[in-house]
Chain A
Amino acid sequence: MTDGGDYTEWHAVGLAGDIDDDEVVRFDHGDVTYAVYNTSQGYFATDGMCTHEESHLADGFVDGDIIECCMHLGRFHIPTGQARDAPVTVDLGTYPVKVEDGTIFIGLSRRGSGSGA
Chain B
Amino acid sequence: MDQNLGDWYACKVDRGELKALMRRSDARGLAQFGGFLALVAASGVLAYQSLGSAWLIPAFLFYGTLFAFAEAASHELDHGTPFRTRWLNDAGAWIACFMMWREPVFGRYKHARHHSFTSIIGSDPEGAGFRSRNLFDQGLEMLIRHRHARLHMGATIRHAFGIVSERDRDFFGIPESEDRRMFWNARLLLLSYVAVIAWSVAAQSWLPVVFLLLPHSYGAWLHDLCSRAQHDGLATNIKDHRVTTRTMLLGPVLRFLYWNMNYHIEHHLHPNVPFHALPKLREKIKDQMPPPSRGLVGTWGEILPALMRQRKDPDYHLMPVLPEARV
Contact = CB atoms under 8 A, between A and B. Distances in A.
Given A54-B3, A70-B271, A72-B116, A85 B86 contact: yes
A35 to B, nearest CB: 14
B272 A61 contact: yes
Contacts of A68: 80, 272
B270 A72 contact: no
Given A23-B19, A73-B81, A86 B272 contact: no
B79 interface: yes
Identify whether the interface residues of B are mostly helix, strand, loop, or mixed: helix
Select the residue from B3, B109, B272 with max chain A CB neighbours within 10 A. Answer: B272
B272 A53 contact: no
A57 to B, nearest CB: 12
A72 B6 CA distance: 14
A54 B6 contact: yes
Interface string B80-110: 1100101000000000000000000100110
B116 to A, nearest CB: 6
Nearest to A55: B5
Interface residues of B, number: 26
B22 interface: yes
A26 B22 CA distance: 19
B16 interface: yes
B324 interface: no
A55 B3 CA distance: 10
A20 interface: yes
A23 B108 CA distance: 26
Contacts of A71: 5, 115-116, 271
Interface in A13-57: 20, 22-23, 52-55
Nearest to B81: A73
Nearest to B177: A89
B230 to A, nearest CB: 17
B52 interface: no
A60 B270 CA distance: 10
B115 A72 contact: yes
A107 B173 CA distance: 33
Nearest to B181: A86
Nearest to B15: A23
Nearest to B112: A72
Interface string A57-96: 0001101000010111101000000000111010000000
Contacts of B112: 52, 72, 87
B140 to A, nearest CB: 31
Contact of B19 (A53, A61, A73, A89): A61
Given A23-B19, A60-B272, A87-B112, A73 B80 contact: yes
Contacts of A89: 175, 177-178
B22 A20 contact: no
Contacts of B175: 89
A65 to B, nearest CB: 12
B4 interface: yes
Given A61-B19, A89-B178, A73 B6 contact: no
Given A53-B5, A55-B5, A63 B84 contact: yes
A61 B20 CA distance: 10
Contacts of A55: 5
B3 A53 contact: yes
Contact of A72 (B16, B22, B86, B271): B271
B239 interface: no
B125 to A, nearest CB: 14
23 contacts: A20-B16, A22-B19, A23-B19, A52-B112, A53-B3, A53-B116, A54-B3, A54-B4, A54-B5, A55-B5, A63-B84, A68-B272, A70-B270, A70-B271, A71-B5, A71-B115, A72-B115, A73-B81, A75-B80, A86-B105, A86-B108, A86-B109, A87-B108
Given A63-B84, A68-B272, 8 more contacts: A53-B116, A54-B6, A60-B272, A61-B19, A61-B22, A72-B116, A73-B81, A73-B271
